[in-house]
């Protein structure tokens, strides 16, 4: 923002709506107050309010439910909107795909350490289910990689740190490198399953140090594979439209 420039009215209203939503304890699925109520509460025009709601809709915070009993409904946003911003900024900075591998090497081992201390039993069962799905889908790379993403997503959110959850969630669509052409033949998929099983066992034992080390080995193996088989792709800039298409 340029120094001295006042925030746009619609942005201020959007910020007030979120402030009042959190203070009021509203949860995902709850309807926000009606247009009439918000117009009176915030003392604004209908155009400003609707622009504020469009800003929140664009950020994935609300959806506009049609019908006589409709209105703005609160959502539980995922990392897709953050993903779009991150990839766009990476493209503008001409950042290569290798920065994704570097970020994973720095973050995911620590995330796994925290998850070992904080993951609940139900999530642990879900984590095991992703490994079963990967074994059952060894010949189907698409299903296999979706289960792979779920494995890493579950661990990230189990860290108890929502920032880690959103960061990993936002990178799930690009972190395996398939959007730039990295492929995973059956022998590589089998190695991933073994690594995931080792991480799972460490998490199940609630062993933070081992969980961190097993995840570090897993990410390092992924990086070595990409460097050996696809060195030219690691230097490729991820395109905003391609990654989100």
What kind and span of H or E run contains 71? strand 71-74
Paired tokens of 65: 């439910």
Reply yes or no on whether the pLDDT at 12 is more than 90.
Answer: yes
CA–CA gap between residue 162 and residue 117 (Å, rounded): 15
217 phi, psi to nearest 5 deg: -60, -40
Give the chain's mean pLDDT: 92
Nearest to 77 by CA among 63, 66, 88: 63
pLDDT digits (tens, 9 = 90+) for 64-107: 888 877 889 999 888 888 888 888 999 999 999 999 889 999 99
Mean pLDDT over 176-188 rounds to 91
CA 157 to chain centre: 9
- Which of the four pLDDT bands, split at 50, 70 and 90, describes residue 7? low
What pLDDT was estimated at residue 135? 97
pLDDT digits (tens, 9 = 90+) for 15-53: 999 999 999 999 999 999 999 999 999 999 999 999 999
């Amino acid at each position: 923002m340029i120094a001295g420039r006042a925030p746009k009215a619609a942005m201020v209203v959007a910020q007030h709506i979120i402030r009042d939503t959190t203070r009021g304890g509203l949860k995902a699925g709850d309807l926000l107050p009606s247009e009439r109520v918000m117009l009176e509460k915030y003392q604004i025009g209908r155009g400003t309010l609707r622009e504020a709601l469009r800003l929140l809709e664009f950020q994935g915070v609300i959806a506009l439910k049609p019908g006589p009993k409709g209105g703005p409904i609160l959502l539980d946003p995922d990392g897709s909107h953050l993903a779009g911003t991150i990839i766009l900024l990476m493209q503008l900075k001409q950042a290569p795909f290798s920065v994704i591998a570097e970020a994973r090497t720095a973050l995911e081992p620590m995330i796994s350490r925290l998850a070992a201390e904080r993951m609940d039993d139900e999530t642990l069962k879900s984590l095991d289910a992703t490994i079963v799905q990967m074994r059952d889908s060894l010949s189907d790379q698409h299903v296999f990689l979706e289960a792979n993403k779920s494995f890493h997503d579950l661990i990230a959110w189990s860290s108890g740190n929502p920032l880690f959850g959103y960061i990993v969630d936002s990178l799930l669509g690009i972190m395996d490198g398939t959007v730039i052409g990295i492929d995973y033949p059956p022998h590589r998929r089998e190695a991933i399953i073994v690594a995931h099983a080792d991480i799972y066992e460490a998490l199940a034992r609630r062993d933070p140090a081992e969980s961190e080390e097993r995840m570090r080995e897993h990410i390092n193996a992924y990086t070595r594979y990409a460097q050996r088989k696809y060195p030219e792709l690691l230097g490729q800039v991820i395109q905003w439209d391609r990654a989100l298409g």
